[in-house]
Chains A and B, each alone.
Chain A
Amino acid sequence: MDFTFLLQLLINGLVVGSIYALVATGFVIIHKSTGALNLAQGEFLMVGAYVCLYAMTTFRLPFAAAFPLTLAFTALLGVLIERVVLRPLLGSPVISVIMVTLGLAGLLRSGLQFFFGTDTRAFPELFPSAPVMLGVVPVSQGYIWSVAGVTVLLTALGLFFRYSRAGLALRATASNQQTALSMGISVKRMFALSWCIAAVVSAIGGVLLGAIRGGIDMSLGHMGLKVLPVVILGGLDSVPGAIVGGLFIGVVENLTGGYLDPLLGGGVKEVVPYIVLVLILMVRPSGLFGRKKVDRV
């Protein structure tokens, strides 16, 4: 009994953690190549979930059509946001960039609310609801699909960064903008590309999360803030760090929630990631895998 409970918590943690990892990867890509801190990451996730839902319910498209449409839409949105909002602020103080992404988050969130309302919307069932037995623990198929999807996606991203021309150019930009420019890489285009990737990756996270939960509402946006402890833990400029951090925060959150909530009466899950964040900031601000270049005084 106790053991199955533990396993259940671990599995929940890993599933949620894999989505954290996905969204955190988008966050890290933006920060690594453009230096911006995107606090609208959670809203990108919401946009993905809502656009997919809209395409499936209002246009009655099958998932196979709605999903690519969602990705195309968010890709465009990412590029547009970089071009219109972020580019004019190149070279502005960090505070301005943080604030503009907060403004962006508010704009996207209120835009979605205006359009879709604030009630929870049922998300179409994408995966069969019958659970699969994983040893002694029943696991819903959505979980398995979601973890598989995240794994495939992260592998694809890894390959993209390692072997494709655009991926290499992106990494060159991240490592040194001046040198990248002199090698004929359009740094501006790379900025747009990183926002595009971040938006798409988060949108996929949003669709998966919608499918797992069976319904979407504005609380999806909280994922964007949960990503902050993840990236601080993993290191702000490390993609592997984002993945490890995501899984770790997901598991820790579920374990502490599962075991401490009954003792403290709920709410532990929400605060534990931030306690981890503070601890990491005090002990090792560069995170587990980050470069040790922290603005220290």
Chain B
Amino acid sequence: MRRVASGVTLAALVLLPFFGSNYALDVANRCGIAVIGVLGLNILTGFTGLISLGNAAFMAIGGFSAAFLITKAGVNGFAAIPAAGAIAALLGMIVGVPSLRLKGLYLAMATLAAHFIVEFTVVKWESVTGGVSGMSVPAPALFGVVLDNDRKLFGLVLLLALAALLFARNLFRARPGRALIAVRDHETAAAVMGIDVFRAKISAFGLSAFFVGVAGALAAIQSRIISPESYPLSLAIDALSMVIIGGMGSVAGSVLGAVGLTLLPEGLRAATNALSGQWPDLISKLSILKELVFSILIIVFLIFEPHGLAALWRRAVRKRHATTQQQPEGGGK
């Protein structure tokens, strides 16, 4: 049953570029990119227990690295994406070094500082980043295939999102991923069991920044033009919202949170358009409305369901399972 469901979903996604509208593909790309980024943040915050307010900074590092590599270093667009991820990973590990001494709110502050320092650097380092005016990002091209619109880009985004998903799922079934969870749950106990806490934390930062950097590079390629203003602090907070609402420490939750909260503003847009007859000023307040809804969702989820959509999902599945088992004769298959 589950296999059928995932097969159908996958088939629908593969076929999307052939029948989806431009708008649908734009949204689908943003969903896929969000999945990659949120998985990255969840590896760090959800699975390893290290809060980061620096997510937007790593998106920026990924985006500007890709842009620089493609336009100024002449690197092929396809190669620039993992390279941007690698640069972000390297810087992520540097930012992660203080995390060995700092926990909780101190780490939140350190990563917040990292956000502002990266923002300042991006604005000032004009020779590389183009300063306040930003840069344009050319479409990646290989063997005559140019991914210059959302329809063509979707295949790449889908592929990378699936790869990220598979990697994350298997990571937490294997020793290195388990080590991160152990560090989150009890650091001393983890160390006693022979886990190198230093290595675990640094690799969590590096891995997380790699995912986020790749997401940043893809987002830059999708939007074609980037500037320091493309990466406000609210972007980092949105990403944290996706992690929390999806489910901290859950791979499936990352997908639910990323897709759900990327679709939500689109739903709001449709709703405000529909209601614009009665309340004409509603459309202009869309971004405010979005923030309002996100904020309320964060608070409500933290109070009532701290494990997010993933827990709701699991419970719903279990409930259905239980009811089908209770009445084996009546229900039928």
CB–CB B240/A99 < 8 A:
yes
Interface residue B120 (Cβ < 8 Å from any Cβ of A): yes
Known contacts A96-B306, A281-B102: A106-B116 contact under CB 8 Å: no
Interface residue A165 (Cβ < 8 Å from any Cβ of B): no
CB–CB A37/B105 < 8 A:
yes
B56-108 interface with A by 8 A CB criterion: 98, 100-106, 108
Known contacts A267-B120, A274-B116, A278-B110: A107-B105 contact under CB 8 Å: no
CB–CB B106/A114 < 8 A:
no
A227 to chain B, nearest CB (A): 11
Known contacts A109-B291, A264-B124: A104-B299 contact under CB 8 Å: yes
CB–CB B295/A107 < 8 A:
yes
B233-265 vs A, Cβ < 8 Å mask (1 yes, 0 no): 100010011001000100000000000000000
- A103: B residues at CB distance < 8 A: 241, 294-299, 302
Number of residue pairs across A and B with beta carbons under 8 Å? Answer: 130
Known contacts A94-B51, A98-B108, A106-B295: A274-B100 contact under CB 8 Å: no
CB–CB B298/A99 < 8 A:
yes
**Docked pose: A41 CA to B224 CA in angstroms:** 37
A72-95 vs B, Cβ < 8 Å mask (1 yes, 0 no): 000000000000010011001111
CB–CB B291/A297 < 8 A:
no
Interface residue B288 (Cβ < 8 Å from any Cβ of A): yes
Interface residue B112 (Cβ < 8 Å from any Cβ of A): yes
CB–CB B109/A228 < 8 A:
yes
B194-238 vs A, Cβ < 8 Å mask (1 yes, 0 no): 000100000000000000000000000000000000000100010
CB–CB A267/B295 < 8 A:
no
- A295: B residues at CB distance < 8 A: 102-104, 106
Interface centre among A94, A109, A110 (most CB of B within 10 A): A110
Residues of A within 8 A of B (CB): 37, 85, 88-89, 92-96, 98-100, 102-107, 109-111, 113-114, 118, 225, 228-229, 232, 236, 264-265, 267, 270-271, 274-275, 277-278, 281-282, 285, 294-297
Chain A to chain B contacts (Cβ below 8 Å), 7 pairs: A95-B49, A109-B291, A232-B109, A236-B105, A274-B112, A295-B104, A297-B197
The 9 closest A-B pairs by CB, nearest first: A106-B295, A103-B298, A94-B104, A107-B295, A274-B113, A110-B291, A295-B103, A110-B292, A271-B120
| A110-B292, A232-B109, A296-B101 given; 17 more Cβ-contact pairs under 8 Å | A85-B299, A92-B302, A100-B302, A100-B303, A103-B294, A103-B295, A103-B298, A103-B302, A110-B289, A111-B292, A228-B112, A229-B113, A236-B105, A278-B110, A278-B113, A295-B103, A297-B100
